[in-house]
Amino acid sequence: MMKTAYMDYNATAPILPSAASAMADAINLVGNPSSVHRLGREARAKMEAARDAVAALVNAPRDWVIFTSGGTEADALALDGVDCERVLVSAVEHAAVLNARADVEVIAVDANGLIDLTALENMLDGRSTLISVMAANNETGVIQPVKDVVALARKYGALVHCDAVQAVGKTPFDMLALDLDMVSLSAHKIGGPQGVGALVKREGITLNAVQRGGGQERSLRGGTENLIGIIGFGAAAKEVMDFSSIEVLRDLLETQTKTRGAKVLGETVERLPNTSCFAFEGLPSERQVMALDLAGVMVSAGSACSSGTVKASHVLKAMKVDEELANCAIRVSLGWGSTKDDVEMFVEAWSKLVERVQTRKSSRSNAA
Ligand code: PLP
């Protein structure tokens, strides 16, 4: 079998063994968590245990957790379900936030992708407002000053939603300490299954369900819950991981790419320990991703969450990264199964590509 290196954890993390085994055990559960009989109660007890684990992951009370079909639905419920006149979102948000409704107003970011707090303050005017800012960016790993956003919001009486899909599990995240109103989570970014997530909503904030139906999830998300997925989510949420060894691998990879001429984006500000977004001029993202794939190394260009096609990244555009450079950016993201071998495989394959570009460039300039 071909040796491979999976380095695309921000797109999806491989399932953790504990989550896989919890789900395998759950597959034969019979009861619907809404049924009052014994098997229904058993199913509900398992679901509520998972709710405890997910709540603990972000330090929130258990009854704030509303299970959804993933991060996208959690974002949609927060932005579309809220009872506010205006919704302000940062320019680097995931498409799940940017496209949650048609009337979002966009807050500018600086060259590192950090939200422009002055621009935000200028937009706030006392009307009922929800501000949505992500905890960490999926493409660059840049961590937003969420605390400062909340402080500004409180001054103007606005609510704050935080898409913490990429941050939780990788960097400390405490919903209560940050004084957030709503937080979106997704299981498959932390080693749980795809297709399950949660919106964690502070008590007292009124939301209208986007998916109506039965009275599940306190009437905020109709439909029989994805019990197996939720159990897997709960198991993954219990695994508190130390990302310091992953950060060492990420830094090793960056040192190797920088010596060969790569430019790391967002390098000078606080970032997730597992993510590196860098560009090498003259080497289009798509070519890098495809050549690396042939060598067994899996990374992504721009946001892989979309459609499988590589298009200009709205994140790098908002950071005003030169378009040509932005088209040469790739994202490497590591996680619980990453090893030094992966990094070495990446560096070997990527360096070959770079050497080819450099040879071509120098033979062109010799010919001129
Ligand atoms: N928010 C962020 C920051 C993400 O990175 C993603 C997925 O990449 C999502 C939301 C969407 O989550 P899901 O795939 O669970 O719908």
Full set of structural domains in the chain with CATH: 5-13+242-367 (3.90.1150.10), 17-237 (3.40.640.10)
Q: What is the pLDDT of residue 307?
A: 47
Q: What integer pLDDT is reported at residue 310 of this predicted model?
A: 57
Q: Is the CB of 78 under 6 A from ligand 1?
A: no
pLDDT by residue (tens digit) across 185-228?
999 999 999 999 999 999 999 999 999 999 999 999 999 999 99
| Residue 134, ligand 1, Cβ within 6 A | yes
How many C-beta atoms surround the C-beta of residue 31 within 10 A?
A: 19
| Residue 180 and residue 133 in contact, taking contact as beta carbons nearer than 8 Å | no
> Using the 8-state DSSP alphabet, how is residue 203 labeled?
T
Handedness of CA 165, 216, 129, 98 (dihedral sign): positive
Residue of 139, 186, 211, 226 to mutate, ligand 1, most atoms within 8 A of C-beta: 186
Q: Give catalytic residue positions.
A: 305
Name the residue among 110, 179, 350 with its Cα closest to residue 254: 350
**pLDDT in the model for residue 309:** 57
Distance linking the first and last C-alpha atoms of the chain: 45
Residue 290 in tokens: 């495809």
| 185 three-state secondary structure | strand
Question: For residue 306, what pLDDT is reported?
Answer: 46
**Does ligand 1 come within 6 angstroms of the Cβ of 144?**
no
Q: Is 70 in the pocket of ligand 1 (CB under 6 A)?
A: yes
Which among 72, 73, 196 is the best mutation to test ligand 1's pocket, defined by most ligand atoms within 8 Å of the CB? 72
pLDDT given for residue 366 in this prediction: 75
**Euclidean distance between CA atoms 210 and 74, whole angstroms:** 10
Q: Is the CB of 142 under 6 A from ligand 1?
A: no
Q: Which residues of the chain have pLDDT under 70?
A: 302-310, 368
Is the CB of 140 within 6 Å of ligand 1?
A: no
Whose alpha carbon is nearest atom 5 of ligand 1?
A: 138
Tokens 């310091």 -> residue: 244
How far apart are alpha carbons 272 and 333 in whole angstroms?
10
The string of pLDDT tens digits covering residues 64-83 is: 999 999 999 999 999 999 99
Chain position carrying tokens 């970014």: 189
- Ligand 1 atom having least distance to the Cα of 96: 10
pLDDT of residue 305: 42
pTM of the shown model = 0.96
Q: How would DSSP label each residue in 228-240?
A: HHHHHHHHHHT--
Q: Point out which residues pair with 61 in neighbouring strands.
A: none
Q: Which of 69, 94, 132 to mutate to test the pocket of ligand 1 (most atoms within 8 A of CB)?
A: 94
